[in-house]
Chain A
Amino acid sequence: DAGVTQSPTHLIKTRGQQVTLRCSPISGHKSVSWYQQVLGQGPQFIFQYYEKEERGRGNFPDRFSARQFPNYSSELNVNALLLGDSALYLCASSLQTGGDGQFFGPGTRLTVL
């Protein structure tokens, strides 16, 4: 079975631009969570979606938004990029909402110049 997939794998943007990251969960998983991992730190929670509804939001500015589609795939959008947004963006899928049983995708490495 395929695991969590994310696209693109790498991305380079400049300050002020907008970016969209994509995630496809494991088949049968209805929940998708997004995390940001800055170099040298652990992943930080951004959003969780379950059945197309936002179920949780971390301490990130409104420049960050996300959505989940009927097929449970998800997009993370970041507007007005800052240098500090450079990070590995991880998507995790799980059967249910909540923190247990989350499986991570390979991530999208975003570099903001």
Chain B
Amino acid sequence: RKEVEQDPGPFNVPEGATVAFNCTYSNSASQSFFWYRQDCRKEPKLLMSVYSSGNEDGRFTAQLNRASQYISLLIRDSKLSDSATYLCVVNSLNDYKLSFGAGTTVTVRA
């Protein structure tokens, strides 16, 4: 079983729409959770950390459900510039690596 699993999509949405997607993680010892954004042929960039209480950053809202071991990302009022692959990332206490999902592709159309 993969450490982090994501729906690959693609999610194809019109501008202004709301899009949401989840990822699940297998290691119950995971302590830190992140969403990274990756544009085509570019490096991943940190979008936001995910906290137990949930958190917002502008149009982006992340939620964590430790009991069910899933993380969600919601994008409101989608912009064309939100088109990218969103990578779900987890890290365990005292672990050296970030564990990445394969990514969810979002395409926002005009």
- Report which A residues bind B (CB closer than 8 A): 33, 35, 40-45, 48, 55-56, 58, 88, 90, 92, 97-100, 102-107, 109
User: Looking at chain B's contact residues, is the secondary structure mostly helix, strand, loop, or mixed?
Assistant: loop
Flag whether B57 is at the interface (Cβ < 8 A): no
Q: Check A104 against B95 for contact (C-beta < 8 Å).
A: no
**Inside 8 A of B87's CB, which chain A residues have their CB?**
42-43
- A98-B91, A100-B32, A106-B42 given. 5 additional CB < 8 A pairs? A35-B100, A45-B99, A56-B96, A98-B94, A104-B45
Interfacial chain A residues near B99, Cβ < 8 Å? 45
Interface size class of B (residues with CB under 8 A): 20 to 34
- Enumerate chain B interface residues (CB-CB to A < 8 A): 4, 32, 41-46, 87, 91-92, 94-103
Q: What is the distance, in angstroms, from B28's C-beta to the closest C-beta of chain A?
A: 16
A55, A104, A109 pick with most chain B CB within 10 angstroms: A104
| A42 with B96, Cβ < 8 A, contacts A90-B43, A90-B44, A99-B32 known | no
Contact A42 B103 (CB under 8 A): yes
Interface contact A100-B96, CB-CB below 8 Å: no
Could you pull out 12 A-B pairs where Cβ atoms are within 8 angstroms?
A33-B96, A44-B100, A45-B97, A45-B98, A45-B99, A90-B43, A90-B44, A97-B96, A99-B32, A99-B96, A100-B91, A107-B43
Top 6 A-B pairs, shortest CB-CB distance = A56-B96, A99-B91, A42-B100, A45-B97, A104-B43, A48-B96
B92 to chain A, nearest CB (A): 8
**Residues in A whose Cβ lies below 8 Å from that of B94:** 98
CB-based contact B98/A99 at 8 Å: yes
Nearest-CB residue, chain B, relative to A38? B102
What distance in Å separates the Cβ of A39 from its nearest Cβ neighbour in chain B?
A: 10
Whether the pair B97, A56 counts as a contact (CB closer than 8 A) is yes
Contact (Cβ within 8 A) B96 A40 = no
Which of A42, A43, A103 is packed against the most chain B CB atoms within 10 Å?
A42
Please report the C-alpha to C-alpha distance between residue A98 and residue B97 in the assembled complex, in whole angstroms: 7
